[in-house]
Amino acid sequence: MNAGQHKPGANGTVPSRFDAIVVGGGPAGLAATFTLASAGATVACLERGTWSGSKNMMGGVIYSHPTANVFPGFWREAPLERLVTRRDMWFATTDSAIKASFESADFGQEPFNSFTVYRSRFDKWLAAQAAAAGAWMVTETLVEDLLQENGRVVGIRSGRPQGDLEADVVIIAEGVNPFLTEKAGLASCPPQAPNVALAVKEVLALPKEKIEDRFDLEPGAGAAIEIIGEITGGLPGTGFIYTNQDTISIGVGVLLDSLVDNVTEAYSILDKFKQQPQLRRLIQGASPREYSAHLIPEGGYRCMPQLYGDGVLVAGDAAGMVNPINSEGANLALLSGQMAAETVLACRRHGSFDRDALSLYRQQLEKSLIIKDLKKYENATPFLASHPQLFGLYPELMATIAREFLTVDNLSKADKEKLLLRLFRSQVPARRLLKDLFDAWRSLT
Amino acid sequence: MSAEHDQENQPETQPATVSGEETAVPADAGILPDPEELGFPQPPPTVANKLGLVKFNLDTQPHLSIKNAGVCQRRCRQKFCTHSCPAQVYHWESEEKRISISYEGCLECGTCRSGGCPYDNIEMRYPRGGYGVQYRFG
Ligand SMILES: Cc1cc2nc3c(=O)[nH]c(=O)nc-3n(C[C@H](O)[C@H](O)[C@H](O)COP(=O)(O)OP(=O)(O)OC[C@H]3O[C@@H](n4cnc5c(N)ncnc54)[C@H](O)[C@@H]3O)c2cc1C
Ligand code: SF4
Ligand code: SF4
């Protein structure tokens, strides 16, 4: 097997044995690879895409704090689109929207809060950092299986001729479709519709100045808008619209279960979403540049696989590490990848990579925000799935209330109040509303 | 679909590349005047239109298959995959009574193996290394 790795002294051939092998060059895999290589371990990262990032898509907000934890001062060099200075939340129906907006001066100061990115470019930059730290970056290589001996993972089998590589430990960072995690017998939930959301996204080109005008932004600053309500066709899901330098990322993510039950297409929901009048105004005249689709793991803590086994660790989306409430997974991927690498480095000192030694990874995760948050939101996805009124009826009622109060006609405010209360009661019995609020509070906060 | 299929350039015979090398992210091609802005309402783009914007490195080997055609014929009335797949890879051929698969446009999302077919009747793998979708933005 060859690699175009230009390492001093390397003859261009990838060695067949490593301290560690990382499967997948996304945020989890690249954080692990970079951390290992920086500490002097010999590590190979295998990525099936032509470059790291070529297979990857997300809404596009990367959080500064966790990223800088692994790649200090990344914002000085990484390909970033806009510095996010405003985060909005919209409750939207098909024709109206209640908008909540949050801006903070902190967002604009080092170490910043978040940036919009294109994963195709951002991941590529992360991979270049890992390569510079001395890792073997092997792209265009699909890992097809794990090599196992007596139940212990000892390496990987790739699709290339002579594609077997051995290592003390394999870190699986393969993303949301856990083919290898399943093969290693570590998966705990079958790949099923209740455990994933399907997201579709479009990148729409619009001149910089228009973006800054329409979104009311300083030059170079960005907005990230999350949208819930009837606009996902009343199905449990969210929409988003993020600003890049000269494009807008717009998309929806909906629980796959409800898409299948309702025989609805994700792209039809996105098409309708783009027609919502308040959204339409933002993207008017923008020309489509790319369409993409990706799953989001929504199983949360319930579906977290075994995180470690003999000679193997699992990180990032493959380990179900996405907070189902805000779908922010890249930060958890980066942190878990880094922790997996630190575990390997600690085990290296003792020379043991069996289950017991590697269980340190789980202990570290338990102490971190990752497992705490996943546990906290354990019931969020089942809750959202079983309460469609949160995505249809309630936003609709909120919009009706806002509309009535803000419309000046010949009804007195007191009469309006009575009217609304009657309308509200007819739609939602008080007991049910209280129960929903209580359940929401328990599962979502 | 701006498909690239170059026999000479198969990843199989080509050395793996180091990430960080120049990629196919093109210089912005300029913004075409939008008919919508000129006042003509437009129908939403079809999925084929959407896929036309996506770059693929086409494999000659399909990576998707139906496990049991009988299940599609007799058990599955809704033909769920024709709706759940975000790239409309699956079509019900009503004359031939079978699902046809346009694997070339697959976005490799995994929906069809994760409940997008409730009968778990689709065998989905990733294309070989270097083949398949290549997002420029992602
Ligand atoms: C629509 C959408 C919006 C999102 N928005 C945000 C957001 O705004 N902020 C945020 O923080 N998170 C967001 N996320 C979540 C985030 O994208 C993921 O949590 C994150 O990418 C997980 O990183 P990862 O490294 O675990 O997996 P991935 O990024 O999926 O990386 C896995 C890598 O492994 C490679 N691979 C897989 N299998 C193999 C194999 N067998 N052999 C070789 N290579 C393989 C893949 O090609 C890929 O490069 C969003 C997700 C979606 C779908
Ligand atoms: S959803 Fe599954 S069973 Fe139904 S037609 Fe498609 S592949 Fe066949
Ligand atoms: S992986 Fe996704 S895009 Fe490809 S066929 Fe399956 S559902 Fe369609």
Name the 3-class secondary structure at A277. Answer: helix
Q: How far apart are CA A127 and CA A130, in angstroms?
A: 5
Whether the Cβ atoms of residue A82 and residue A76 lie closer than 8 Å to each other = no
pLDDT of residue A299: 87
Strands A164-172 and A312-314, by their bridges, are parallel
Q: How far apart are CA A430 and CA A422, in angstroms?
A: 11
Is the CB of residue A49 less than 8 Å away from at least one CB of chain B?
yes
Question: Is A196's CB within 8 Å of B115's CB?
Answer: yes
* pLDDT confidence bin for A161, thresholds 50/70/90: confident
Q: How far apart are CA B10 and CA A134, in angstroms?
A: 27
Name the 3-class secondary structure at B90. Answer: strand
pLDDT of residue B36: 55
pLDDT of residue A405: 67
| A117: phi then psi, degrees, rounded to nearest 5 | -140, 160
Report pLDDT digits (tens) over A107-135.
888 889 999 999 999 999 999 999 999 99
Percentage of chain B beyond pLDDT 70 is 70
pLDDT of residue B31: 53
Report pLDDT digits (tens) over A13-32.
778 899 999 999 999 999 99
pLDDT of residue B13: 37
Strands B90-93 and B98-101, by their bridges, are antiparallel
Q: How far apart are CA A255 and CA A202, in angstroms?
A: 19
For residue B65, what are its two tokens? 């298959």
User: A198: distance to nearest CA of chain B, Å?
Assistant: 7
The predicted model gives A236-247 an average pLDDT of: 95
Q: How far apart are CA A96 and CA A279, in angstroms?
A: 10
pLDDT of residue A441: 67
The predicted model gives B122-134 an average pLDDT of: 97
pLDDT of residue B9: 41
Q: What angle is formed at CA A395 by the lines to CA A392 and CA A398, rounded to 5 degrees?
A: 145
Of B58, B114, B120, B116, give the one whose Cα is nearest residue B86.
B116
Write the CB contacts of A312 (distance below 8 Å, at least 6 apart in sequence).
A146, A153, A169, A170, A171, A172, A184, A186, A358
Q: Is the pLDDT of residue B136 over 80?
A: yes
Whether the Cβ atoms of residue A125 and residue A118 lie closer than 8 Å to each other = no
Write the CB contacts of B97 (distance below 8 Å, at least 6 apart in sequence).
B73
Nearest CA to ligand 2 atom 4: B79
pLDDT of residue A328: 82
Q: How far apart are CA A331 and CA A328, in angstroms?
A: 7
Chain A interface mutation, best of B80, B81, B135, B136, highest count of A Cβ atoms under 10 Å: B135
Q: How far apart are CA A315 and CA A324, in angstroms?
A: 17
Q: Is the pLDDT of residue A278 over 60?
A: yes
What burial class does residue A439 get, using C-beta atoms within 10 Å of its C-beta: 0-12 exposed, 13-18 middle, 19+ buried? Answer: middle
Assigned architecture for domain B47-135: 2-Layer Sandwich (3.30)
Write the CB contacts of A319 (distance below 8 Å, at least 6 apart in sequence).
A181, A304, A305, A307, A336
The better pLDDT of the pair B82, B24 is held by B82
Handedness of CA A222, A228, A231, A235 (dihedral sign): positive
DSSP type of residue B24: S
Percentage of chain A beyond pLDDT 70 is 94
pLDDT of residue A168: 97
Whether the Cβ atoms of residue A287 and residue B34 lie closer than 8 Å to each other = yes
Q: Is the pLDDT of residue A352 over 70?
A: yes
Average model confidence (pLDDT) across chain B:
81
Closest ligand 2 atom, CA of B122?
7
Which chain A residues touch B125 with a CB distance below 8 Å? 179
Q: How far apart are CA A303 and CA A368, in angstroms?
A: 18
The better pLDDT of the pair A236, B23 is held by A236
pLDDT of residue A444: 64
Model ipTM? 0.87
Which chain A residues touch B129 with a CB distance below 8 Å? 48, 139-142, 158-160
What is the C-alpha end-to-end distance of chain A, expressed in Å? 50
Report pLDDT digits (tens) over A306-324.
999 999 999 999 999 998 7
Residues 117-176 of A with CB under 8 A from B: 118-121, 123-125, 127-128, 131, 137-142, 158-160, 176
DSSP type of residue A129: H
Containing H/E element for A181?
A: helix A179-183
Question: Is B86's CB within 8 Å of A266's CB?
Answer: yes
Question: Is B78's CB within 8 Å of A247's CB?
Answer: no
Average model confidence (pLDDT) across chain A:
89
Q: Is the pLDDT of residue A50 over 60?
A: yes
Question: Is B34's CB within 8 Å of A287's CB?
Answer: yes
Q: Is the CB of A60 under 6 A from ligand 1?
A: yes
Q: Is the pLDDT of residue A174 over 80?
A: yes
* pLDDT confidence bin for B53, thresholds 50/70/90: very high
The predicted model gives A413-420 an average pLDDT of: 76
The better pLDDT of the pair A332, A413 is held by A332
What's this model's pTM, rounded to 2 decimal places? 0.87
pLDDT of residue B17: 38
pLDDT of residue A14: 76
Name the 3-class secondary structure at A249. Answer: strand
Q: Which amino acid is present at B44? A: P
- For chain B, the domains span 47-135
The predicted model gives A163-176 an average pLDDT of: 97
Report pLDDT digits (tens) over A66-97.
999 999 999 999 999 999 999 999 988 888 88
Write the CB contacts of A11 (distance below 8 Å, at least 6 apart in sequence).
none
pLDDT of residue B32: 55
